[in-house]
Structure 1
């Protein structure tokens, strides 16, 4: 589709042969044959009226922090840049905050913390945009977005209408939602609304590294700002800055395995860390599994794993998407051979 095919009013920005390196935190070179930036909700309606969604199945790009371009995408790329943080309702004890899908997630966390709103302080510094947060059901340090989720609005590319989903309708799971399954490729998130607290906050501090950091600071009765600062400190000490070293954060999900399988592994590895999951299942840190396979800090060509966190695959400068993908496959093979556990990528593999 060419820009000339669209009406002038409400015309989205359409470009061709655009480098995607600035739009992914792994800093992988890839080229989008068609690149469309969505700056207003009306842009989506314009594309629908012109038959764009009948002709194409576009790749939806947010902050590019959870994607690996293994090759050039074969589909048009839609960059969602809808922004704006607003308070839509509040009372003495709570507040509803709505943010555009294109807003940076950490900016929303800072917005809340600066105003004393509780609920997302544990999710500080998670890379990416607001729109991607519920799709992935992001989580960290004992907290997940579903715990404070109110609703989201999305554009249905099949119907050409904007729809709203509640928490229940999103079918959240571990790093999962209905948008990664039944509605994959059909829904484009435009905004997200969260329920945050103004008092009587449900502070989550029973995560080992978080508890340890608060203890180091001599904080016995932490507040929202204390938890936020602790999380920021921990993440900066463990994870590389994508502006300095290309990475997509945690490359793999923490596997959830049957308790019987875990007990078998535990006999040979009594120091294996774990977390209780659903009944009969145990969650095991993927980073620990990878480290036991001696991948931590290892460099392979132009890529490798981060020296402080084996779960993070890094680009040392000019690694291709294929090289990073091949390293990920080698890591998966090592973990499966040693533990019988299949690691699943948390990042979205494209191409």
Structure 2
């Protein structure tokens, strides 16, 4: 891949840039330097200048999975790389190349509008396409890794653009090679391989319940059902600040699950490919009495214990203090450690 044939305009510099509207928690934050990256070709010169200036730096997509401090020193890269096009199609698959800056839900909607079903279970997840593989986002029985063919990225360590195959991305539950190597890669484009053969994924009871009255649900039916469930369970960040699911669903060995299931009948769980059991973090938190609790400016959402919210004026430390309290309480009651999903800057 050659991204240096035509010299692009440099990334736009925004000094003392307000990031309050660039994070879904609604945390007040001012970036010392922010750079709008609208094309991959801008990255080599930009990263060279950042290194020469010895600035700390980080990438920010849609800000849906971050906890930001009041002041963010150094350089913040705002990845706004656009684009979405079908690169090839055959009887088995259609390959779609998508710019890292495209909104994730916008992309899912685009696939259905273009008769490319498969991603509908992942509807209404906030954030950008470029951020999706880093966390290996998932919902209702699907993970984004199942549809990724390869990823184009700028390797800051090698000062070069690279293409990583699906296997090289080392996807796991809420994990990837990118997450394991923070600060090394800047995702620029994602290639999705969407099968032509489609079958509904209705393993989750909530989804099946919403669709119970529809015989042979189609992709659009599932898309709307997922949006309905997520809207009911998760608050709109424009109304109340949040980052969606705040904790990962923990994986525990089968013997630990059996012990817990005897102590706590009705414990929700799902088999995992690793041979372990995946527990519902929201259920664990709810059983500890946190759902609907409010402590000052922060709290736990009344409709979903997995979601921490900013009622207005909260700081990053307020959120982390509440998260620590929840982790300690769940560990004491169940012997299960909860891991925070959002990135802490």
The structural deviation recorded for 1:71 is 4.8
Q: Quote the Cα distance in structure 2 between the aligned partners of 1:114 and 1:237.
A: 24
Q: Quote the Cα distance in structure 2 between the aligned partners of 1:75 and 1:290.
A: 36
The structural deviation recorded for 1:54 is 7.7
Deviations 1:35-84 (A, max 9, x none): 11111212102214436378334111000000011453344211111011
**After the TM superposition, which residues 39-54 of structure 1 pair with which residues of structure 2 at under 5 Å, given as runs?**
39-50=38-49, 52=51
Decide whether the 8 Å contact of 2:56 with 2:73 is kept in 1.
no
| Partner residue in 1 for 2:195 | 197
Aligned to 2:230, the other structure's residue is in SS state helix
Q: Quote the Cα distance in structure 1 between the aligned partners of 2:52 and 2:11.
A: 14
Q: Quote the Cα distance in structure 2 between the aligned partners of 1:319 and 1:54.
A: 32
2:93 corresponds to 1:98: no
Q: Quote the Cα distance in structure 2 between the aligned partners of 1:321 and 1:143.
A: 30
Deviations 1:202-248 (A, max 9, x none): 32112111100100xx2121111111111111111111111111000
| Partner residue in 1 for 2:54 | 55
Decide whether the 8 Å contact of 2:149 with 2:165 is kept in 1.
yes
Q: Quote the Cα distance in structure 2 between the aligned partners of 1:280 and 1:153.
A: 31
> Which blocks of at least 5 consecutive residues in structure 2 are unaligned?
1-6
**After the TM superposition, which residues 157-172 of structure 1 pair with which residues of structure 2 at under 5 Å, given as runs?**
157-172=156-171
Q: Quote the Cα distance in structure 2 between the aligned partners of 1:104 and 1:124.
A: 11
> Which blocks of at least 5 consecutive residues in structure 1 are unaligned?
1-7
The two structures have a TM-score, normalised by structure 2, of 0.94
| Partner residue in 2 for 1:232 | 227
Q: Quote the Cα distance in structure 1 between the aligned partners of 2:256 and 2:202.
A: 29
The structural deviation recorded for 1:88 is 0.6
| Partner residue in 1 for 2:218 | 223
Decide whether the 8 Å contact of 1:47 with 1:53 is kept in 2.
no
Q: Quote the Cα distance in structure 1 between the aligned partners of 2:52 and 2:147.
A: 32
Decide whether the 8 Å contact of 2:87 with 2:97 is kept in 1.
yes
Decide whether the 8 Å contact of 1:29 with 1:321 is kept in 2.
no
Q: 1:165 to 1:279 in 2, by over 3 A?
A: closer
The two structures have a TM-score, normalised by structure 1, of 0.93
Decide whether the 8 Å contact of 1:116 with 1:224 is kept in 2.
no
Aligned to 1:129, the other structure's residue is in SS state coil
Q: 1:169 to 1:82 in 2, by over 3 A?
A: same
Aligned to 1:234, the other structure's residue is in SS state helix
After superposing on structure 2, the runs of 4+ consecutive aligned residues of structure 1 that deviate more than 2 Å are 48-57, 70-75, 91-94
Q: Quote the Cα distance in structure 1 between the aligned partners of 2:91 and 2:336.
A: 48
Q: Quote the Cα distance in structure 1 between the aligned partners of 2:232 and 2:334.
A: 28
2:113 corresponds to 1:144: no
2:216 corresponds to 1:208: no
C-alpha RMSD of the superposition = 1.6
| Partner residue in 2 for 1:185 | 183
| Partner residue in 2 for 1:296 | 291
2:343 corresponds to 1:348: yes
Q: 1:258 to 1:78 in 2, by over 3 A?
A: same
| Partner residue in 1 for 2:4 | none
Q: Quote the Cα distance in structure 1 between the aligned partners of 2:129 and 2:223.
A: 18
**After the TM superposition, which residues 53-92 of structure 1 pair with which residues of structure 2 at under 5 Å, given as runs?**
55-92=54-91
Q: Quote the Cα distance in structure 2 between the aligned partners of 1:10 and 1:160.
A: 19
Aligned to 1:15, the other structure's residue is in SS state strand
| Partner residue in 2 for 1:122 | 121
Q: Quote the Cα distance in structure 1 between the aligned partners of 2:11 and 2:294.
A: 42
